[in-house]
């Protein structure tokens, strides 16, 4: 009995030691598995998720930025063809807040030689210094029986496009500003020296 009594506590102690060691080892393995799993998930999110989202956002921004803006050239109010194949296209005529209207369009040289807008500066002595330009253009309000000449500054410089000679087939934009007809006038005749007259509708 004494031998049994002495060995039983020793065996119990040894059992407790082995149990604690096994538990500690199991806990260490479990902790290592948890840390590995967490590290793997975090690395996956950072390396794969964010770059894909960034790429999609970049593609979207490029697509939006590529959309073209609207221009006056999308509409044609009148096309005027003169001698030697010179063509004037009127794209817009708008009322401005300063009490004037602006006519915009394009001129195309359909001739077989360099064109310098001969005579387009008009016959007024004050406008002679403008050279090749739209200075001689005018608007006619048939309803109000009034002609509007191109606006100019105190030195006689017109508020309009001045041309340089351009070769056959070339095309260039133009503008010309005039005093605004009364609000009730919605149509005017646009006249350029040596070119046919075109009736155009005012916007605004």
Nearest to 92 by CA among 101, 83, 84: 101
> Could you report the per-residue pLDDT of 66-91, keeping only the tens digit for each?
332 334 667 999 999 998 899 999 99
Q: What is the pLDDT of residues 115-149, one digit of tens each?
A: 999 989 888 888 878 889 999 999 999 999 999 99
Using alpha carbons, select from 150, 119, 124 the residue that is nearest to residue 135. 150
- pLDDT tens readout for residues 10-43: 444 444 444 444 444 444 444 443 334 444 444 4
* 100 and 186 co-located in one domain: yes
Say how many C-beta atoms besides its own lie within 10 A of residue 32's C-beta. Answer: 10
Does 91 lie in the same domain as 5?
Answer: no
Residue 160: CB atoms within 10 A of its CB come to 25
79 bridge partner residues: 89
79 with 98, same domain: the answer is yes
Query: 67, 96, 114: which is the final residue of a domain?
Result: 67
Binning pLDDT at 50, 70 and 90, where does residue 160 land? very high
**Domain total in the chain:** 2
Give the model confidence (pLDDT) of 85-109 as tens digits. Answer: 999 999 999 999 989 999 999 999 9
Claim to verify: residue 23 and residue 87 sit in the same structural domain = no
**Taking the model in full, what pTM does it have?**
0.63
- Secondary structure percentages of the chain, helix, strand, coil, to 5: 35, 30, 35
Say whether both 86 and 150 belong to one domain: yes
- The parent domain of residue 136 ranges over 72-201
Cα–Cα distance measured from residue 163 to residue 136, given in angstroms and rounded to the nearest whole number: 13
Structure tokens at 43: 């690395």
Instruction: Identify whether residues 129 and 63 lie together within a single domain.
Output: no
């Amino acid at each position: 009995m004494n031998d049994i009594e002495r060995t039983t506590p020793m065996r119990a102690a040894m059992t407790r030691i082995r149990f604690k060691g096994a538990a500690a080892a199991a806990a260490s393995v479990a902790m290592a598995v948890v840390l590995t799993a967490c590290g793997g998930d975090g690395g996956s999110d950072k390396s794969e998720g964010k770059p894909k989202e960034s790429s999609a956002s970049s593609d979207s921004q490029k697509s939006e930025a590529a959309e073209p803006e609207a221009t006056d050239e999308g509409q044609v109010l009148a096309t005027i063809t003169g001698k030697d194949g010179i063509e004037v296209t009127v794209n817009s005529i708008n009322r401005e807040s300063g009490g004037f209207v602006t006519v915009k369009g394009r001129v195309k040289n359909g001739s077989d030689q360099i064109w310098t807008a001969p005579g387009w500066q008009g016959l007024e002595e004050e406008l002679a210094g403008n050279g090749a330009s739209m200075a001689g253009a005018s608007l006619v309000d048939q309803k109000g029986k009034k002609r509007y000449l191109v606006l100019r500054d105190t030195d006689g410089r017109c508020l309009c496009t001045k041309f340089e000679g351009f070769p056959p087939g070339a095309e260039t934009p133009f503008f010309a500003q005039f005093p605004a007809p009364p609000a009730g006038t919605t149509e005017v005749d646009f006249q350029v020296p040596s070119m046919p007259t075109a009736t155009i509708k005012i916007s605004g």
